[in-house]
Amino acid sequence: MANSIEIRTAQQVTLSYDLATVGARILSTLIDGALILLILWVTRFILGGGLLSAWASFIILTFYHLAFETVLGGRSPGKMITGIRVMRTDGAPIGFADCFLRWIVRPLDITFSGGALGLFLILGSEKRQRLGDMMAGTAVVSVKHSLHYAYHDLMRLHHKNPEQNITWPQLRHIEEKHILFIKNIINSRDDYSENAHQQALRKCAERMVALLELEKHPADERGFLQQIVNEYIVLTR
């Protein structure tokens, strides 16, 4: 069973994400369960115990995960708290159809089996997928990022393309902490708005263009930064 998954974006850039641990997924489920109970209690307190309250409780219980994961791009409140999210394994943005497929199988994976079936499939599949993930082509990944990446995280990229051509040999003189920062920027696209992430990529690319004394700003800023990371690994491995 792998500990990470590689996702190729629409810009043809391959990003590596750590798969969510079983513990994080269980904790996320427990947090969501507690929040559901809290919402049900508040609903019953406000509406009383009549038919309206019963219908509201039914809707909350039934559509909680579908609604949140659709609106929040693969995240429920529990997933947000534990720093995990659902992503498509082909790099495409997650949509309603993907969330629906995961949701429609959720009773079988989790509710009716007490989570046993989902846990069995997660532990036994290469990408830690439950049945809903397999049907939707999704995986649950960790999106907790910090500036304190271990160097072996970067070294994993070397094994993808050990014959990396070197365009900027002067990269060997760049400090490792700056390369780690670039990696953090690349991997943080799901933590911020698209506009904020693009601005971060642009600022980072502008700084590297200046350091490398390049004449033109790259059109594909993410690809440019990813190439810098890859070349640095080859130069310093």
Q: pLDDT digits over 48-95, tens only?
A: 878 899 999 999 999 999 999 999 989 999 999 998 999 998 877 889
Give the span between the Cα atoms of 57 and 229, in whole angstroms.
50
- The per-residue pLDDT for 146 is 44
Closest CA to 208 of 233, 174, 157: 174
The predicted structure's pLDDT at residue 2: 66
User: In the chain, what are the domain boundaries?
Assistant: 4-142, 151-236
Asked whether the predicted pLDDT for residue 10 surpasses 60, the reply is no
Given a cut of 70, is residue 158 above it in pLDDT? no
Where is pLDDT greater, at 81 or 143? 81
Query: What integer pLDDT is reported at residue 169 of this predicted model?
Result: 83
| pLDDT of residue 135 exceeding 90 | yes
Residue 145 pLDDT > 60, yes or no? no
Strands (E), the chain: 4-8, 14-18, 84-88, 138-142
Arithmetic mean of pLDDT over the chain: 83
Question: What pairs with residue 17 in β-bridges?
Answer: 5
Cα first-last separation, the chain = 26
pLDDT above 80: residue 118: yes
- Chain centroid to Cα 79, Å, comes to 10
DSSP 170: G
For residue 198, name the pLDDT band (cuts at 50, 70, 90).
Answer: confident
